[in-house]
Amino acid sequence: MMMNRAITWVYRLMPFAVLLFALPALARIGGGEHYTGGSSDSGSGGGDGGGGEILGWLIVLAIQHPVVGVPLLIGFLIVAWYMKSQEGSASTKKAIQQADAQVRTNVSAQAVTGWVNALKAKDPSFDLLHLFDNVKKLFVEVQGAWFKRNLEPVRRYLSDATYQRLALQMKLLELQGVRDAISDYAVLDLQIIGLEQNEHFDTAHVRVKAQMRDADAPANASDEQALALAAKKPPEQFIEVWSFVRKPGAKTNTARELSSGKCPNCGAPFEGGAANSCQFCNAVVNSGNYDWVLAEITQGSEFTRGGDAVEGFARAKQTDPALNTETLEDRGSLVFWRWVEAQATGDTTKLAKLSGTDYLTWLSNDLADLKSRQKRKVFLECAVGAVNTRRLDNDGTNDLVHLEIRWSARMGIGPINEKPPALPVVPQRWVFTLQRKPGAATNAANGMSTNRCPNCSAPLSDNGQPSCEFCGTLLQSGERDWVLKDARVWESWAAMKRPAMAQAPAASAPRDRVASKEERERLLYMMAAMAAADGNVDARERALLKECSQRWSVAWANVELALGAGTGLFDRLVQKGSPEAEHFMSELVSMALIDGKIDRSERKMLEAAAHHMGVGGDKLKSMIGTG
């Protein structure tokens, strides 16, 4: 009887065990709740749910009443251990991300004082509390605009890429037949956690700890119906980092702030509009030249501070003094979201002003081929974790910038007008290469407003024409600004032959530090897609995948889902025995070396993976020896 009662209490305490290690999923602007891991767009929940107190109570009970307390304590620990072992589950991922977010965004009071003093040295009127007031107000306004599915009221505060990101993710939700239902959103705490300064921009990183209720609602649900659904959900906490950019010469002037409905340049009333230009002085208000502009929303678990030297940047800057990574990455993010939109809708017209002719033609033909086979590309729950400038060089005809973009999505190929296939959320790692003609210079006046004509500064429309409708400047040629030349998966880019001028990497180029759980997950899903490519997954391949799944804490159910999803999880697969396969193996070795050594079991796993990838044993030994 006593044991039965204890078992009953174990089941009653299961929810609290879950709370000890896991957190519910969140829904926030821009799909941040969907990004599985990790420089530009990305969170986590908060709170431990009281699990620690329950554990303490059970220990006391076990000491005072061992007959009842010991079985309860053992049952509780078993349930807690099981929940923690299921790291593939969304809730446990949130718990892990929460811990990571706390670590990544923790700063000392001394560091905060230093950053504030650095800003005051350039802008004596700078007031951190005033900045926080504006951030809090913006947070509430952005959430309201997201819920109302109308971003125009907050467009003035956002860089062009940030606006494009939110607008497209709203459209992707609509394509899924849902809308984001949120309520009771509130900022709990604000903290400046980083400052990056150069001759072009000051970038202030603000940690936003907030909470809200959220739910998915049908796309045709009214605001009242959506709010009713959200009200049934418990409030959840999360951490994001909002990065604000401003030109170093800009000064705080409370009488001329966008938050007060004024032009930050001339102080005239500013009512907004798609042009984001003051009708009195023609200032581009979201350029960052006059006031802070929101250039990034990063999940706390993915926040990293900048500072690494970019290969080829100093050389490129000699002919373009206004060149800076802030606008390069904003432009790259803008291109990325238009690229996603073109494929998700099957319409490349919105990419016409941002892409070179060759790539646009290739993409149009690729989408037309899918359509002829009654197929379409699917991008669900798409979110960006990072945009980083990797390298600048020249191919003999054009200047090139290579931007690494880490993102995630439920991505695949499905039938037209049918429900998308079941797909796991797969981390992706791509490099977008943009090109422009030698001699082209950065338009500093446009700043972070990167969706503008480089000649007349007019905002670019979506009319599908390759030229500016205001001044007639041809944009696809890259004569004046960066346009898309190529987009490919990381392994494919890394294995490409580098231009002669870029053969020797800069001495200051950092060793690749991507070693997150999401990178391991990406590599495992790619291995699964390759194994399934020939339609037959043999026992040896399945055993290898299962071993990787266990060692890398990726739920086997998700791997099986990837096996059944076919090759559509990735745009193209690594070819066995190719230079790309060798680079893929070097990534696996880096994963194994994350703790500084490779044990016997890991070596066996790597040997099996090398056989699977068609990489010789000597190559593998060399990778392990130099890793």
As a whole number of angstroms, the distance between CA 432 and CA 354 comes to 12
Does domain 30-45+102-307 sit in CATH 2.60.120.10?
no
Determine the CATH number of domain 313-501. Answer: 3.10.450
Query: Which is more confidently placed, 114 or 57?
Result: 114
DSSP one-letter string for 445-499: TTTT--SB-TTT-PBP--SS-SB-TTT--B-TT-SSS-EEEEEEEHHHHHTSPPP
Provide the whole-model pTM: 0.77
As a whole number of angstroms, the distance between CA 179 and CA 175 comes to 10
Query: Which is more confidently placed, 590 or 286?
Result: 286
Angle between helices 517-532 and 600-613 (to 10 degrees): 40
First to last CA, the chain: 59
The whole-chain average pLDDT of the chain stands at 80
Please state, for a pLDDT cut of 90, what percent of the chain lies above it.
42
Minimum mean pLDDT range among 39-53, 102-116, 130-144, 542-556: 39-53
Q: Give phi and psi for 191, each to the nearest 5.
A: -155, 135
The pLDDT of residue 271: 85
The pLDDT of residue 532: 81
The pLDDT of residue 119: 96
Residue 46 clears pLDDT 60, i.e. is over it: no
The pLDDT of residue 57: 59
Minimum mean pLDDT range among 25-34, 208-217, 472-481, 541-550: 25-34
Q: How confident is the model at residue 127 (pLDDT cuts 50, 70, 90)?
A: very high
The pLDDT of residue 616: 83
Q: How confident is the model at residue 375 (pLDDT cuts 50, 70, 90)?
A: confident
Domain boundaries, the chain: 2-29+46-101, 30-45+102-307, 313-501, 517-626
As a whole number of angstroms, the distance between CA 41 and CA 299 comes to 7
Q: Give phi and psi for 460, each to the nearest 5.
A: -80, 135
Minimum mean pLDDT range among 17-26, 95-104, 579-588: 17-26
* Counts of helices then strands in the chain (DSSP H, E): 18, 8
As a whole number of angstroms, the distance between CA 407 and CA 301 comes to 14
The pLDDT of residue 155: 94
The count of other CB atoms within 10 Å of the CB of residue 34 is 20
Minimum mean pLDDT range among 269-278, 327-336, 409-418: 409-418
The count of other CB atoms within 10 Å of the CB of residue 213 is 19
The pLDDT of residue 221: 95
Tokens of 587: 């990534």
Helix (H, G, I), strand (E, B) or coil at 119: helix
Residue 549 clears pLDDT 60, i.e. is over it: yes
What's the mean pLDDT in 414-439? 84
The pLDDT of residue 8: 47
Query: Which is more confidently placed, 217 or 575?
Result: 217
What's the mean pLDDT in 146-170? 93
Query: Which is more confidently placed, 583 or 67?
Result: 583
The pLDDT of residue 124: 95
What's the mean pLDDT in 203-226? 94
Q: Fold match between 30-45+102-307 and 313-501?
A: yes
What's the mean pLDDT in 353-375? 93
